[in-house]
Amino acid sequence: MNTVLAIDIGGTYTKIGVVTEEGEILISKVFNTRSKDSFDSFFQELVTEVNLLTSKLDQDCKILGIGVGAPNANSYTGNVENPPNLKWGKRIPLAKSIKDSFELPVFIANDANAAALGELKFGMAQGMRNFVVLTLGTGLGSGIIVNGDLLLGEHALAAEIGHVNVDPNGRQCNCGLQGCLEAYASVTGIKRTVFGLMAKMRVDSSLQGVSFDDLTGETITNAALKGDELALKAFDVTAAILGRKMADTVAHLDPEAFILTGGLSKAGEVLLKPVVASMEKNLFIAYKGKIKVLISEAPRESTILGPAALAFKNLKTLAIQT
């Protein structure tokens, strides 16, 4: 059976697995990325875990290549560049290191770009040719598919929709700019909105008993789903901003759909309804009523499907070229 090894490196956890072309995860493992350690120590553990995992595979299982999704990974250079949440340094030759260790073709992409490929091959975007994935997690990641393929741009840096500007005098962003979308429409963003609303509103809310450090996206989502006024208001504020900026994205790309994923998307209709209303209100007339907004059905554990899709896609291109 033909498979690929998929590696999804996150700021907190790294997931590895062996995946078939049908998207079946034959075997997988999660380990702590230990983001404060050096790249060398991470890489040693990665090699050990991969060897351990693949040693358990059936003999008829052939690994054709390796797909890697990582924050700030550059598909052209194979490097991870300035990852803000990993203490790895400026420029890590991740693709080359993996290739040297396993002697297999290695394909690498920014994590959100890999997620878009995962939705295209295995998820809700099967058969779509133009769509945008927004991962509403700690930050806001994005992946853009145009004409059935990943939009990489001139320097493989396309799709940083988390850093479009909402308000030039707005919130400070981790990236150094002011007013980035990610500072509003992400788990961290809605948390900041909750505390801003506490300053502004008179309301009884279960969230008032939780500290800034302790408040999670899950807590806010659960409160909203139970009808907590403050939490619902926070979703409305977040969705109004996100929907407005999604209308800007449509005015660039004219996609068939947006697919929302990540922690914040677990709120379902509580997020979706006001997002669609705000987007439609702000859409240029030619687009109105034409753009779908969907919530990803991919379970959280399936993030390795993105890197797996990346590997299958590039192996196919290689096969055509040679």
Contact residues for its own copies, defined by CB under 8 A: 72, 81-82, 129-130, 144, 146, 151-165, 168, 175-177, 180, 244, 247-249, 251-256, 282, 284-287, 290
Q: How far is the CB of 159 from its own copies (least distance, A)?
A: 7
Nearest alpha-carbon partner for 71 in 160, 155, 181: 160
Residue with Cβ nearer its own copies (108 or 224):
108
Tell me whether residue 118 or residue 255 sits nearer to its own copies (CB atom): 255
Residue type, 114: A
Q: Is 260 helix (H, G, I), strand (E, B) or coil?
A: strand
> Which residue bears the tokens 């702000």?
282
Q: Which of 233, 308, 313 is nearest to 5 (CA)?
A: 308
Q: How far is CA 3 from the centre of its chain?
A: 23
- Least Å from the CB of residue 271 to its own copies: 20
Instruction: Tell me how far, at minimum, the Cβ of 153 lies from its own copies, in Å.
Output: 3
Q: Going by C-beta distance under 8 Å and a sequence separation of 6 or more, which residues neighbour residue 288? A: 280
For residue 285, the minimal CB distance to its own copies (Å) is: 6
User: Nearer Cβ to its own copies, position 80 or 267?
Assistant: 80
- Gyration radius of the chain over CA positions: 20
Is 16 or 184 the residue whose CB approaches its own copies more closely?
Answer: 184
The minimum distance between CB 146 and its own copies, in angstroms, equals: 6
Listed residue (147, 144, 125) closest to 133, CA to CA: 144
When the beta carbons of 168 and 299 are compared against its own copies, the nearer one is: 168
At its nearest, how many Å lie between its own copies and the CB of residue 147? 8
- CB-wise, 140 or 264, nearer to its own copies? 140
DSSP string for residues in 111-177: HHHHHHHHHHHTSTTTT-SSEEEEEESSSEEEEEEETTEE---TTS----GGGSBS-TTS-B-TTS-
Closest distance between its own copies and the C-beta of residue 142, in Å? 8
Q: Report the nearest approach of its own copies to the CB of residue 253 (Å).
A: 6
Residue 137 carries which side chain, given as an amino acid letter?
G
Tokens of 289: 């009523």
Nearer to its own copies by Cβ, of 72 and 296: the residue is 72
Cα–Cα distance measured from residue 288 to residue 306, given in angstroms and rounded to the nearest whole number: 30
- Shorter beta-carbon distance to its own copies: residue 54 or 130: 130
Cα–Cα distance for residue pair 105/96, rounded to 1 Å? 10
Under 8 Å between Cβ of 16 and 28: yes
